[in-house]
Amino acid sequence: QVQLVETGGTAVQAGGSLTLSCAASGGIFSDYGMGWFRQAPGKEREFVAFISWNGGNSRYADSVKGRFTISRVNAENTVYLQMNSLKSEDTAVYYCAASNYVGLPPIHPYEYDYWGQGTQVTVSS
């Protein structure tokens, strides 16, 4: 059983930067691909970014490509999401998730096995 805890969410002004962290425990971190999702009020949870078990492969939603960077440090059991040039539409609860996937990078929530509790990011314009 993998436990995930996100930290780093806060309120920030548009154009600013923020880094989210997700610490994993209870499993072998390098067994999992890791993803970030977000959910705004009244909207479905949406894919943000994915990174493979060794960091060699990543994928981003078009809405964040070029602004967000996902990374991981397996020795620290941690995955990060660096967010730059933040916009008001980035406001959401951000979740990290672990996937024991095989094949194409998972971009749907149902492809993930474990989830964190989420951290709120609020971007004011």
Lowest average pLDDT, out of 43-52, 100-109, 114-123, goes to 100-109
How far the first Cα of the chain sits from its last, in Å, is 40
How far is CA 71 from its chain centroid? 9
Share above pLDDT 70 across residues of the chain, in percent, rounded to a whole number: 100
Structure confidence at residue 28 (pLDDT): 94
The model's pLDDT over 41-88, given as tens digits with 9 standing for 90+, comes to 999 999 999 999 999 999 999 999 999 999 999 999 999 999 999 999
- Whether 124 contacts 88, CB under 8 Å: yes
> In the structure, what pLDDT confidence band is assigned to residue 110 with cuts at 50, 70 and 90?
very high
DSSP one-letter string for 54-111: TSS-EEE-TTTTTTEEEEEEGGGTEEEEEE-S--GGG-EEEEEEEE---SSPP-SGGG
Residues 96-115: what's their mean pLDDT? Answer: 94
Structure confidence at residue 15 (pLDDT): 98
